[in-house]
Chains A and B, each alone.
Chain A
Amino acid sequence: MEASSARRPLRIVALLLLAAAVALRLSVPSAPAWTSGLILLSAAAIAAVSLSRRATACDGAPRALRRRYTRELLVGMAAYVVVLAGSLVLLRHVEPPALRAMVALLPVAPIALVLRAMVRFIRGVDELQQRIELEAVCIAAACVSLGYMTAGFLQGARVIDVPASAAMLWVFPLVCGSYGVAKAVVARRYR
């Protein structure tokens, strides 16, 4: 019962990402198909994690803290989906560069809220959980940096050709995804 309710937020995030992919496809038909494809892929990955039994087995955070984190995370993600869709629609009608920059940066605010929720969560857990979270963040940051640099070398050698904006946008989601995987691996050591 508790494990199931603890996995619910992940399902909601997966649904929100699914909504974001659909919104992107409908509101900006000119956007490359891979953008919504990648969002769909991440939604599927999060849904898969939420269905796995191990998803919450390593989480020793108190219920009240988890609830606050879930609430803040969901508010941030929901705001992100709405603001992103609005920003993409507005960008089609706005021409002046300064205004375009402002509109393009609107989705940064809800993502900052999500980051704030993550930091507040890590600060609230006990010392072992904090160690697990920080170790997982370090591993995730190292892996994504390594991957980004590897792709940079390949791109420099013209072996691959990834659009720069996509590569930059996917750093944060990739860090979040690898953080989840790293956390499950690190937590096993203390079980």
Chain B
Amino acid sequence: MKSRVRELREACGWSQAQLGERLDVSRQTINAIETGKYDPSLPLAFRIAREFGEPIESIFLFEDVP
């Protein structure tokens, strides 16, 4: 799943490790979410949305595969 996590994180001036610390996950998890290799669980997605103050659907972009 594509996401705007990297863009939003960089706009806040945080490193992957700093965002990971805020969300209580590892830097590797943030990296995997940003590169689209891992889709976060719903609770983590909500925490990310709350951290950036944006609605969840504007951060995670669902692509329907036909």
Contacts and interface: CB of A to CB of B under 8 A. Distances in A.
A126 B25 contact: yes
Which secondary structure dominates chain A's binding surface?
A: loop
Interface string A171-191: 000000000000000000111
A190 B37 contact: yes
B61 interface: no
A60 B31 CA distance: 11
A191 B34 CA distance: 11
B32 A127 contact: no
A128 B32 contact: yes
A49 to B, nearest CB: 19
Contacts of A62: 26
- Interface range, B side: 10 to 19
- Interface range, A side: 10 to 19
B53 to A, nearest CB: 22
B37 A60 contact: no
Contacts of B32: 128, 190-191
A129 B37 contact: no
A6 interface: no
B30 to A, nearest CB: 9
A127 B25 contact: yes
B38 interface: yes
